[in-house]
Structure 1
């Protein structure tokens, strides 16, 4: 019998200089998601990347245990959260961005902005039309994102320099965040070498663009740590634990889709397409997209405050008798 894949204890790498961050990686087993808390060691300013909101599809219940763990960790370290960073609109988990922002606004001098790449607006419009989401629920000031980064835009987390790196392919809006020059938080673009790369079959996805994004990552300094958004160790692989990062060098030497001497661009596009055609849709797809285009906020209640908040779920296989 295959041994279960077990998450390690929360992974922490402490800063080795004033220009490198403290990094806390927290794994969410139900969604196989890595969440990150990144802090400037000098000022204790910090950012949260891709936080998870707990959702039980059986009971349709949303809870905040995972997000509260992030808050507790930040409080224990006396960090002040300056940014909540999303790499893209996720299809496999609900974002806790809006919940965290609301909680932090009560405990900090200022409310941290929810941030993403500027192309996220085209993804929001697409899924808003698909799920009939009113514009005021996914656009500021009531919904959506507070700050949209341009490609290669720099910003600061305390004294740390951070760069918004456009890594399209999985989605057209996808960003990675290069923080402190030595750590790339790659979201769902590259996974670990034994997995390869992310799927490209969502609207706006492109295997050609993902190939180019992969080459951009592999062109970074070899010792750069690439922190993944998820980990799904292959059942036939040798790993028994999920891990949050590997280096660019390890990707160059062993990434099954992108390593040096591996598949050509044309072969990658063919292999990626064949693989994607065999994948099912993510378990939380429809709920996740409707919450995430809103920046983690819920739909307006039906019938006023106190009413039910409803999300749309498509039905397949029926027919009309009209």
Structure 2
């Protein structure tokens, strides 16, 4: 049996990493957090970045069984429907996406037909749920804090895809000031990740490199426990919450949060067209 392979794709605009996870001798694969290009000034979308991922899947003759979201992202639009259309796979996310949908249905005053029950996705994962992709075993870990719906995917108890929880050690951790977020909850979620074996490989969703290094996407539990600027060993929950809340108070909202959330709570689909046949996104005033 060959080792689990991880191919990372960086979206330069949002500094997001998408992944293809597979075994070479089986050709069964999952895609994690694919990105749809979106030009905010013109309102135009593009699949240019996601096409690179699709081209890789086709070149390697992989069979995609899942397109997995770690949460409803606030900094980029999901390309999950495009990936599913091109190479297949069920779109999955955590069951607490329903909580996020309820919050933002009110924020955006969405159409009454929009039901916050998660039916827009093919599957809603529960905490602790496991599933097989070929001989790979995936385990789901609910890790709220950044949003109520965040989760991680653990592969063969050796690799974990952490979404927006931990960043590289010199960058720290994800923000917690979005609706439904909680610094205390994020701290507790991160402790679950850091309780994994020290050799566990951590694959992050975003990297914001400090001066002097290139983008990186992989670290380990040991490196985080020793060197994370926010949650290294010895940092208490009270200390983390104070730091996180003070820092979050200085941060601007992500540039693409308004279009991203409206699309991503629909599993990457656009809202229904208006009577004129055109699709519109809303711009709520003084809501975030």
Matched, 1:174 2:150: yes
Deviations along 1:6-61, one digit per CA (max 9) or x if unpaired, are: xxxxxxxxxxx54x411100111100000000013332110000000000011110
8 Å CA contact 1:139, 1:145 repeated in 2:
no
Matched, 1:122 2:92: no
Q: Which runs of 5+ in 1 are unaligned?
A: 1-16, 105-110, 318-322
Deviations along 1:192-213, one digit per CA (max 9) or x if unpaired, are: 1111110000111111111111
SS at match of 2:132: strand
TM-score (norm 1): 0.85
User: What displacement does 1:140 show?
Assistant: 8.2
1:56 corresponding residue in structure 2: 39
C-alpha distance in 1 between matches for 2:51 and 2:115: 24
Question: Which deviates more from structure 2 when the two are superposed, residues 121-130 or residues 187-196?
Answer: 121-130
1:87 corresponding residue in structure 2: 70
Over 3 Å counting, the alpha-carbon distance change for 1:136 and 1:114 in structure 2 is: farther
Question: Which deviates more from structure 2 when the two are superposed, residues 160-169 or residues 132-141?
Answer: 132-141
8 Å CA contact 1:128, 1:135 repeated in 2:
no
Matched, 1:274 2:246: yes
TM-score (norm 2): 0.95
Q: Which runs of 5+ in 2 are unaligned?
A: none
User: What displacement does 1:264 show?
Assistant: 1.5
Count of aligned positions: 287
SS at match of 1:31: coil
2:183 corresponding residue in structure 1: 207
1:245 corresponding residue in structure 2: 218
Cα RMSD of the aligned pairs, angstroms, is 1.8
Q: Which of the two has higher C-alpha Rg?
A: 1
SS at match of 1:127: helix
SS at match of 2:162: strand
C-alpha distance in 1 between matches for 2:55 and 2:248: 38
8 Å CA contact 1:138, 1:293 repeated in 2:
no
Deviations along 1:219-262, one digit per CA (max 9) or x if unpaired, are: 11111110000000234xxx42011111111001100111113x
